[in-house]
Structure 1
């Protein structure tokens, strides 16, 4: 959003109770944000909880931080801190800063895999795969693969392909899949591909 002479960025994080606001360190900017929050309260009835609000500064003198905190009637915090259980540090170049974040994402991926491969999951008999859409039909798990793996669906060039069009048996009698992903893949997409391979591991297409 535009705030004062500079641009601030509001990151919601899909959590109604916790919001981060990034802003240029000036008293003008602080008052502008305070006015926006006050107007929001008048319209919605939702008010900032000053007792749970913390102001952090990156390369900002303590005197200025204390002055800014008075605008919001909140306290001043220090790095590192946690936002939605993810550690936030001013020293992002250190490996130790990223280790807990990596652990959190790995756990999330394992949770997703567990949900996909849970006892409630099931596979539909697909025969030779010519009448079942890979992404758009419910044939493995309890939902469409496009919903289970939205990040991979977005980068696939085979969005409306049948199973038989992208799945084939190699010379070693193993199932292979050509999903036409747009390369290069980022780290999260590569992890999702590995999860998808596990999900598809026991899939076999054959004549009815």
Structure 2
């Protein structure tokens, strides 16, 4: 009886002793896996943090650029006014060059060629004012890329008079607007009569 009990206890002890190393190995394996996963999680978290910072920096730069562009557009003025035709007599087809630019915001008018060069797409208003003496014709037109968009012809036998034309036009960036003589013309310029060509951007199309 005692011998059987002793054998049973010894067998149980050996069983328990043989199971403990297996549990320890399993625990060690799981701990190793957990440790590796923790390292991977830390790496992923670091990558996500770096990516978030990069995205935030890119977005911040883009927002700053957009705000700067908006400020520039809001603060920019496109307008010109030029007087003093370069001569008094013009032939049909001649460009009437107004050589004295009293206003040239945005540097859009070339006083050497008489041409306005649109800096951006938009709705523009243009005006021309000219004068003549009795017996002389004035015939002129506002021209947008070789197309007449507003014109006038004036003649009277005596005295002097002035006339004006105006035009609203959608003009694309880089297109030109100028004043052309449409019939042999003689202009009158003195202290009471003055010719002028002017334009202004009313609304931009981005």
TM-score (norm 2): 0.27
Structure (1/2) with the larger strand percentage? 2
Give the structure, 1 or 2, with the largest relative contact order (CA under 8 Å, sep 6 or more): 2
Greater CA radius of gyration, 1 or 2? 2
